[in-house]
Structure 1
Amino acid sequence: MSTPPSSTPPPRSTAPAGSNLTGLRDHNTALVLSLLREASRGSSRAELATATGLTPQAVSKIVARLLAAELVAEDGRGPSTGGKPRTVLRLRPDAGFAVGVELDRRETTVLLVDLSGEVRHRATMPTGLADAPPRRTVELLATAVREALRAAPDGANLLGVGVGCRGPLDHAAGVLHRPAGLPAWDRFPLREALAAELAPLPVHLDKDTNTAALASAAPGQTAYLHFADGLGAGLLLDGALYRGARTNAGEFGHQVLQLDGPPCRCGARGCLEALCLAALDRDDTRTAARLLAVGAANLVQLLDVDRLVLGGRTILAAPEPYLSEIAEQLADRLPDRSWQHVPVSLTPAGPAAVAIGAAELVLAPVFGRGQGPGLRAEPVSRP
């Protein structure tokens, strides 16, 4: 339920002196920040210059701005390599926070994530898209987000909220489009409704499969397959999310495998999702895995990806059949495995992949990894 105005805590200042991120988001600054985020042991100015190809003078100027903005800190001296020991620089994780949300049919997970990607707060509520009218669900979600924000330190930069939600949906408009089995959500402006509850905090919405794919990001071409109470895919092509012309790519579960097959919640018959769910209803996990594997092999042959990553609670609850069946299908159907080797693995983010990737939607622009509608990497007062 929305917090009534009379009970809303007075806004607190959330921006340390000089820490407005909007003036720091040029390409080179974002590149330096990204390298520091990935350097668990820190990095020196000289190492940053080598890694970026920038001159030492340019790196020194960038670092000076980041130090003034309190986004990075100097942390002692590194080992000497024959000359003067170099000062170690580290990202300050508390310099910014984002909220990541997984909004599923029956459950909602809310995470508070710091600038390094570490989860600082986690909450799950047994309410999702199928349990209440859309407006009520948004109110409950806003309350959970406020609770997560209270776990951030006083004075923290609150960068925004990312939501991973089952599709189909229009990422650009923030609107759901006929999600299977959820007619009340058709054309519902989820991003706008949640942003109104949490103003002035910016809100970003994407498909759960896309956000989970972000949590498994790797160089090259990745297809992430997500099987929970539905089946979908997130595509990372050349390291960037591929959303398609209407921002709804990845409806992997609605490829038709059997023309006279069982009805699917989308209105068609014989969809891969419907066939897999029907097999699970019969407690036949091996058949569900084999069907999913056929679809996965189709996807690999269509897109020629570098790797397949699997996630979602149905797969994670019993991963072996899915891993082995997909590996077998790829071995049987790819023409030359020594040339087209496609490894299959589980998401490194585990059950929280959707929410972790949703937070990354908010954090990514700070590190120069793209921006979409609804994102502003600026500190705001707590809603």
Structure 2
Amino acid sequence: MSGTGVNLGALAEFNVAVVLEAIRRHPQGVTRIEVATLTALSGMTVSNVCRRLVDAGLVIEEPAPARGRGKPPKILTLNRDGGFAVGVHIDPAVITYALIDLSGQVRERIRTATPTVQDGAKVVREMAAMVDALLLTGGIDRAKVLGVGVAAPGPLDPETGVVLNPPMLPGWHRVELRTALQLATGLPVLIEKDATAAVVSELWVSEPGERRSFAFLYYGTGFATGIAIDGSVLRGVSSNAGDTAHIPVDPDGPTCGCGRRGCVGLVTAPRTLVARAVRDGVLTAGQAGDTADVLQVGAAFGLLADEADAGDTRAVEIFTVAARQIAQALVVVIDLLDVGEIVFGGPFWSRIAPVGLAALTEAVRTDRGLVVPHEIRFSESLIPGDTAAVGAATLVLDDSFSPRPEALRIGTAGDAVARFSAT
């Protein structure tokens, strides 16, 4: 398995990825002639590639329903059961394991509490056991599993697979996760920042040309932004691009761990909003619990959202102020990268969105610091459930089958075809 370097592979293998992508994008079915038109490949090339894909069990080819006289054409469709991927999202509160099929549909999901790393080997063994349980519950043949994708808070080193020192994960300091998990599971493993993994999944499920240049706002226990430019994920030199949590938005706000005051990741964090709700009398100290405990914060944040949904003006104001502060940070991102769309997701976003989204979009559009001349679109993530877990699994599919050269890191589509053909 290679690192993050580009691997184009042979032209024939790249054509496999192009053909498979065309078939995947047409779930209703497509003929070989239509694939040739869509891909601009010759009919012979398409026929040869389709034969390989069918033999590998990645594509199904069946006659179309008969209509009148003459032999009906054969229709190609993606075989959803032809391959699977596992996604693991390490959140400060819980670790989510998701099993997806070749179409990206979630088949199984397991959640466990996130441990503090004191015995790294034990944590890896537990994660490997959960991957085994996921495959067993789903009744999945291990030979059909392409790999495991891991989404974790940054900073991390995808080249070596080391989780460096995420601020929200106490004790997770220089954990060599990828190599250890690969040895424990016997499967290829990729590791990526959670917000970046979410961008990969959005590009994977979007219609061609639907989303090209956008920022994905990940609002969870932590705050981060994933970025896509011209249909490609922007990772940066060390694959840690998108750490927008330290954009100052409140000059009178509390001092952040970075030394600045009023950083957006601090002043809009769920634990900060819960603490404010206690000060404002929206929640009691008993309801808030320990704001250092991420599980208790999650429960209290839900209670605060319930109050906002019920029309409590104090709760609404807390979410509105947070939304406007997030908007200030987004204006910086929009001006810097000239993106045309903001996509929202993350485990806490759905609860703040009913109140916060309207305030946020209005604040962005009326901000005098917004200099781009185009309209900004705002949309929700296309991924149901845990966006980062599904995104982590999608990393594997994308790296195995995407025709984009920079995505082919576990192996080319031809490699995957060869693997399945041998099983």
Q: TM-score range by the shorter chain?
A: 0.7 to 0.9
CA contact (8 A) 2:334 2:372 kept: no
Query: Which amino acid counterpart does residue 265 of structure 2 have in structure 1?
Result: E
With structure 2 as the length reference, what TM-score do the two structures score? 0.77
CA contact (8 A) 1:129 1:182 kept: no
Q: Which residue of 2 aligns with 1:282?
A: 276
Matched, 1:27 2:14: yes
Deviation of the 1:155 alpha carbon: 6.7
CA contact (8 A) 1:203 1:374 kept: no
User: Helix, strand or coil: the match of 2:215?
Assistant: strand
Q: Which moved more, 1:249-258 or 1:364-373?
A: 364-373
CA contact (8 A) 1:204 1:373 kept: no
Matched, 1:271 2:258: no
Matched, 1:51 2:57: no
C-alpha separation in 1, matches of 2:177 and 2:261: 28
CA contact (8 A) 1:103 1:129 kept: no
Deviation of the 1:172 alpha carbon: 1.8
C-alpha separation in 1, matches of 2:164 and 2:142: 38
C-alpha separation in 2, matches of 1:311 and 1:156: 33
Q: Give per-residue Cα distances to partners, 1:203-234, cap 9 Å, x unaligned.
A: 11001111112222243101000111110011
C-alpha separation in 2, matches of 1:112 and 1:333: 42
With structure 1 as the length reference, what TM-score do the two structures score? 0.85
Deviation of the 1:251 alpha carbon: 0.4
Q: Which residue of 1 aligns with 2:83?
A: 96
Q: Which residue of 1 aligns with 2:313?
A: none
Select 2:237's aligned residue among 241, 245, 248.
245
Structure 2: segments with no counterpart, 5+ residues? 1-8, 278-317
C-alpha separation in 1, matches of 2:69 and 2:370: 50
Select 2:128's aligned residue among 128, 132, 142.
142
Query: Which amino acid counterpart does residue 216 of structure 1 have in structure 2?
Result: E
CA change 1:59–1:282 in 2 (3 A) is same
CA change 1:55–1:148 in 2 (3 A) is same
Matched, 1:230 2:236: no
Query: Which amino acid counterpart does residue 275 of structure 2 have in structure 1?
Result: D
C-alpha separation in 2, matches of 1:263 and 1:143: 41
Q: Which residue of 2 aligns with 1:185?
A: 172
Task: Identify the structure with the greater helix proportion.
Answer: 2
C-alpha separation in 2, matches of 1:198 and 1:247: 25
C-alpha separation in 2, matches of 1:314 and 1:286: 15
CA RMSD of aligned residues (A): 2.8
Deviation of the 1:116 alpha carbon: 1.2
Q: Which residue of 2 aligns with 1:342?
A: 376
Q: Give per-residue Cα distances to partners, 1:214-267, cap 9 Å, x unaligned.
A: 222243101000111110011111111111111110101122334563233456
C-alpha separation in 2, matches of 1:340 and 1:167: 31
C-alpha separation in 2, matches of 1:327 and 1:62: 46
CA contact (8 A) 2:135 2:141 kept: no
CA change 1:249–1:162 in 2 (3 A) is same
Deviation of the 1:271 alpha carbon: 1.5
Select 2:387's aligned residue among 353, 356, 359.
353
Mapping 1:3-14, distance limit 5 Å: none
CA contact (8 A) 2:217 2:224 kept: yes
Query: Which amino acid counterpart does residue 209 of structure 1 have in structure 2?
Result: A
Query: Which amino acid counterpart does residue 317 of structure 1 have in structure 2?
Result: R
Structure 1: segments with no counterpart, 5+ residues? 1-21
Q: Give per-residue Cα distances to partners, 1:302-353, cap 9 Å, x unaligned.
A: 1110210011122112312332122112221378999511111111113321
CA contact (8 A) 2:255 2:261 kept: yes
Query: Which amino acid counterpart does residue 153 of structure 2 have in structure 1?
Result: R
C-alpha separation in 2, matches of 1:258 and 1:290: 11
CA contact (8 A) 1:94 1:156 kept: no
User: Identity over the aligned pairs, expressed in percent?
Assistant: 33
Q: Give per-residue Cα distances to partners, 1:96-119, cap 9 Å, x unaligned.
A: 111011110110111111111111
CA change 1:128–1:236 in 2 (3 A) is same
User: Helix, strand or coil: the match of 1:180?
Assistant: coil
C-alpha separation in 2, matches of 1:55 and 1:370: 21
Q: Which residue of 2 aligns with 1:210?
A: 196
Q: Give per-residue Cα distances to partners, 1:131-184, cap 9 Å, x unaligned.
A: 765433322211111111222433742110001111111222212222114352
